[in-house]
Amino acid sequence: MVITQLPPHTMSELHTLLTKMDACARELEVVTNAEHDAIRMLDGDQIMALTDRRITVHQCLATLEQDGRTLRIRAGIPDDMTLEVLIDVFAGNQAGEFQALRRNLYDRMIHIDQQSQENSMRLRAAYNVSSTLLQHLGLVQQKQVYDRTATR
C-alpha cells in the first residue's frame, strides 16, 4: 500500500502521542534518579514504592505505543516505514520540530535504560552485601549450596 497523503489530524495526533511519551519518559527519569537515592540509603520501602511507580509509567508507555500502532494502521502507514521517514515525508514545515521531539525521546529512553541497568547492578550489590553481613552476624542462615565434589 502506498500512501500519498495523511489525513490532516494524523500528524496532530502523532505529535500528541510523542509529547505524552516524552512526559512518561521524564517521569521515568524522576523515578530512576529517586531509585538511585533509595538504593544508596538502602530504603526498601522507598524502593518498593518506586518500583510500583515505574510499573505504572511503563504501562502508560505501552498504552501510548499501542495507540501509535493504531494510528499508523488507521492512517494506512506501512509497518516498515520508520517514524523518522514518516516525519520526513509527511510533516512538511514541522519536520524539524517532529524530528527533534523524536530524537529527544529516543535519547531520553536510551539514557533511562542505562540508568536502570546501573540501578539494577547497585541493587544486586547492595543485596549481596547486606545478605553476607547478616549471614556473618548469624542473623540469617547461610544459603545451602549444592557441592558437587561432596558426592564423588
On whether the CB atoms of residues 131 and 137 are closer than 8 A, the answer is no
Tell whether 144 is covered by a domain: no
* Tally of domains within the chain: 1
90 lies in some domain: yes
Question: Does the residue 134 lie in any domain?
Answer: yes
CATH number at residue 60: 1.20.58
- Is residue 60 domain-resident? yes
Domain-located, residue 152: no
pLDDT digits (tens, 9 = 90+) for 38-49: 999 999 999 999
Q: What is the C-alpha to C-alpha distance for residues 43 and 29, in angstroms, rounded to an integer?
A: 19
Structural domain span for residue 57: 8-139
With respect to residue 115, please indicate whether it lies within any of the assigned structural domains.
yes
Across the chain, which has 152 residues, the per-10-residue mean pLDDT values are: 72 96 97 96 95 97 96 91 93 93 97 97 92 86 67 56
Q: Residue 55: its pLDDT value, please?
A: 97
DSSP string for 41-92: HT-HHHHHHHHHHHHHHHHHHHHHHHHHHHHHHHHT--TTS-HHHHHHHH-G
- The 10s digit of each residue's pLDDT in 46-68 is 999 999 999 999 999 999 999 99
> What one-letter code names the amino acid at 36?
H
